[in-house]
């Protein structure tokens, strides 16, 4: 701080005041992200003709697949809540709950992936990498609209750590994408399940945190500079 008094600073802040719209409610922000995800899934499914295997009994009778689907869903919800609530002062308890959900789901997903590798291993790892990269790319593509919306809401909020908030938002959006990819994909190898499905939120968080943080920074309203 410079040598100015607190009362002088208050006067400067009053002079800098301009009207603004309050941030959207959390449920509106979360619903927007989910709506964009549904739109992206609908559009790609309509274009490719590949729809999630919702009615496939073989899918629902495989406990690992069901557990991974559940884990991705919980990871998505937890990560998005952690990111969006973390950007609103006073909503820290909700953000903490989101972090706990997302963290537990991530651990569970890694556990499921390892369970799949142990139970189904033996697939050629090279082929598994190619298929996994394709599933990861598909999940990331489906995540983009939701991630952009989440970044917009973050830019209107006050995240404590922009990079961390962007990373967790990316992980949440990518988990939503991975839910659809997982429900569509017919590759059953253990390594593929681990790399291409279970670890998608982690890869997305690492890959997209920086670009999304840049967007959040650019979209943030110019603010008072001390």
Partner 1 sequence: MGDERETRWRSWMVATQTGETPAYEKLLAELIPYLRRFVGRRLLSAAAVEDVVQNILISIHRARGTYRAERNFTPWLHAIARNAIIDQTRRRARQSRREISLEADGVAEPSSDAVEPQSARLSPELEGALSALPDSQRQAVELIHLHGYSIAEAAARVGATTAALKVRAHRGYRAMRAHIEALRLEENGG
State in angstroms the smallest separation of the CB of 223 from partner 1: 4
Supply φ then ψ for residue 205, to 5 degrees. -60, -40
State in angstroms the smallest separation of the CB of 172 from partner 1: 19
Figure out which of the listed residues 71, 98, 113, 157 binds partner 1, where binding follows CB under 8 A.
157
Does 126 bind partner 1 (CB under 8 A)? Our answer is no
CA distance 169 to 209: 8
Tokens of 201: 């939120």
Does 55 bind partner 1 (CB under 8 A)? Our answer is no
Measured over the CA atoms of residue 32, residue 33, residue 35 and residue 36, the dihedral's sign is: positive
Contact in structure between 176 and 197 (CB atoms under 8 Å) = no
Closest among 200, 203, 199, 212 to 161, alpha carbons compared: 212
CA distance 213 to 87: 13
CA distance 149 to 85: 14
CA distance 193 to 128: 9
CA distance 169 to 37: 13
Does 118 bind partner 1 (CB under 8 A)? Our answer is no
State in angstroms the smallest separation of the CB of 10 from partner 1: 4
Residue 153 or residue 191: which is nearer to partner 1 going by CB?
A: 153
Does 28 bind partner 1 (CB under 8 A)? Our answer is no
Stretch that binds partner 1, among 10-18, 111-119, 123-131, 189-197 (CB under 8 A): 10-18
Q: Which of residues 59-88 bind partner 1 (CB under 8 A)?
A: 87-88
Does 221 bind partner 1 (CB under 8 A)? Our answer is yes
What binding mask, one character per residue, do residues 87-106 give for partner 1 by CB under 8 A, x or -? Answer: xxxxxx--------------
State in angstroms the smallest separation of the CB of 13 from partner 1: 5
Does 218 bind partner 1 (CB under 8 A)? Our answer is no
Measured over the CA atoms of residue 48, residue 51, residue 56 and residue 60, the dihedral's sign is: positive
- Residues within the interface to partner 1 (CB under 8 A): 1-3, 6-7, 9-10, 13-23, 25, 87-92, 156-158, 160, 221, 223-224, 226
């Amino acid at each position: 701080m410079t040598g100015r008094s607190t009362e002088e600073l208050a006067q400067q802040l009053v002079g800098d005041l301009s009207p603004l719209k309050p941030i959207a409610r959390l449920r509106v922000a979360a619903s927007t992200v989910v709506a964009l995800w549904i739109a992206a899934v609908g559009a790609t499914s309509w274009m490719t003709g590949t729809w999630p295997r919702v009615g496939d009994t073989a899918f629902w009778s495989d406990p690992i697949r069901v557990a991974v689907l559940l884990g991705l869903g919980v990871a998505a919800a937890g990560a998005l809540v952690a990111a969006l609530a973390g950007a609103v002062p006073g909503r820290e308890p909700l953000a903490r709950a989101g972090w706990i959900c997302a963290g537990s789901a991530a651990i569970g997903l890694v556990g499921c992936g390892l369970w799949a590798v142990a139970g189904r291993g033996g697939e050629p790892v090279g082929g598994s990498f190619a298929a996994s990269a394709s599933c990861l790319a598909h999940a990331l593509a489906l995540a983009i609209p939701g991630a952009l919306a989440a970044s917009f809401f973050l830019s209107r909020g006050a995240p404590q750590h922009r990079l961390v908030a962007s990373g967790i938002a990316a992980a949440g959006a990518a988990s939503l994408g991975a839910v659809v990819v997982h429900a569509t994909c017919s590759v059953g190898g253990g390594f593929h399940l681990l790399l291409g499905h279970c670890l998608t939120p982690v890869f997305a968080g690492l890959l997209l945190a920086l670009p999304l943080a840049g967007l959040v920074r650019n979209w943030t309203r110019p603010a008072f500079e001390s």
